[in-house]
């Protein structure tokens, strides 16, 4: 049976197309081409563009959330936990080069449906309060009472933005930078140090 194979190929192709071009920008013909089939067969398996779109999206959300939430809640001391966290976010982001870009764009364009879908999946996967866990981790350290929201913003910003703005930054910083293999590992270490010293040492200095 070639069924599942083709369905899988369609989803794969559709994922690429939707993440690269959004719902409006995506072309059903392009999806069919990428999947190596024709439009008629595409509609034989999937009713409409919208249906296919939400199937793709749900899968993407789930994958992403799964990897992240697990790491956020892991039972480690602060420093190894932070390192682990940074590495995971960087890995999840770089392994899905178009996902965050897509999210930021599409969450604004399709403002009714996507936030709801996202919210549902978050609730489904998240047991207990997520922010409280982060706060608890912080409270084990010299940075006790440092707000978990700021912490989360810092980690996400530092990990996600560079990959997001890569095409832009390459114009300013030069094409070579991001291409270098060491860059991500160097970046990983730098983010760790920045947050460690930026939060812990600041608190120590304040006392």
Partner DNA sequence: ATTATCTTTAACTATATGGTTAAGAATAAC
Partner DNA sequence: GTTATTCTTAACCATATAGTTAAAGATAAT
Binding site for DNA (CB under 7 A): 1-3, 5-6, 26-29, 36-41, 43-44, 47-50
- Specify the residue, 1 or 172, whose C-beta has the smaller distance to a second copy: 172
- The pair phi, psi for residue 107, each rounded to 5°, is -60, -25
Interacting partner of 168 out of a second copy, DNA, none (Cβ under 5 to 8 A depending on kind): a second copy
Query: Length of the chain, please?
Result: 207
Taking each helix axis from N to C terminus, what angle separates 78-94 and 130-139, rounded to the nearest 10 degrees? Answer: 140
- How many CB atoms within 10 Å of residue 167? 9
By the rule CB under 8 A, 127 interacts with a second copy: no
- Specify the residue, 19 or 85, whose C-beta has the smaller distance to DNA: 19
Helix or strand run (H / E) with residue 41: helix 39-45
> Comparing C-alpha atoms, which of 50, 148, 167, 29 is closest to residue 97?
167
Interacting partner of 41 out of a second copy, DNA, none (Cβ under 5 to 8 A depending on kind): DNA
Q: Cα–Cα distance between 80 and 94 in angstroms, integer? A: 21
- Give me the residues that bind a second copy (CB under 8 A), please: 20-22, 24-25, 98, 101, 103-105, 107-109, 111, 115, 118-119, 122, 130-131, 149-150, 152-154, 156-158, 160-162, 164-165, 167-169, 171-173, 177, 186-187, 190, 193-199, 201-202, 205
């Amino acid at each position: 049976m070639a069924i599942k194979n083709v369905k899988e190929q369609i989803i794969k192709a559709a994922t690429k197309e939707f993440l690269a071009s959004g719902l409006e920008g995506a072309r059903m013909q392009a999806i069919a081409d990428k999947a190596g089939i024709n439009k008629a067969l595409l509609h034989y398996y999937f009713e409409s563009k919208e249906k296919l779109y939400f199937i793709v999206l749900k899968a993407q959300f789930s994958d992403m959330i799964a990897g992240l939430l697990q790491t956020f809640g892991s039972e480690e001391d602060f420093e190894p936990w932070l390192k682990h966290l940074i590495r995971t976010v960087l890995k999840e982001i770089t392994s899905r080069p178009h996902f965050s870009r897509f999210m930021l764009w599409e969450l604004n364009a399709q403002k009714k449906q996507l936030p709801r879908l996202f919210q549902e999946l978050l609730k489904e996967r998240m047991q207990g309060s997520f922010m409280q866990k982060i706060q608890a981790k912080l409270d084990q350290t010299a940075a006790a009472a440092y707000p978990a929201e700021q912490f989360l913003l810092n980690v996400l910003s530092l990990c996600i933005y560079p990959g997001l703005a890569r095409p832009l930054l390459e114009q300013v910083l030069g094409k070579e930078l991001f291409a270098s293999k060491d860059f991500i590992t160097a970046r990983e270490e730098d983010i760790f140090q920045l947050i460690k010293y930026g939060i812990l040492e600041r608190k120590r200095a304040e006392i």
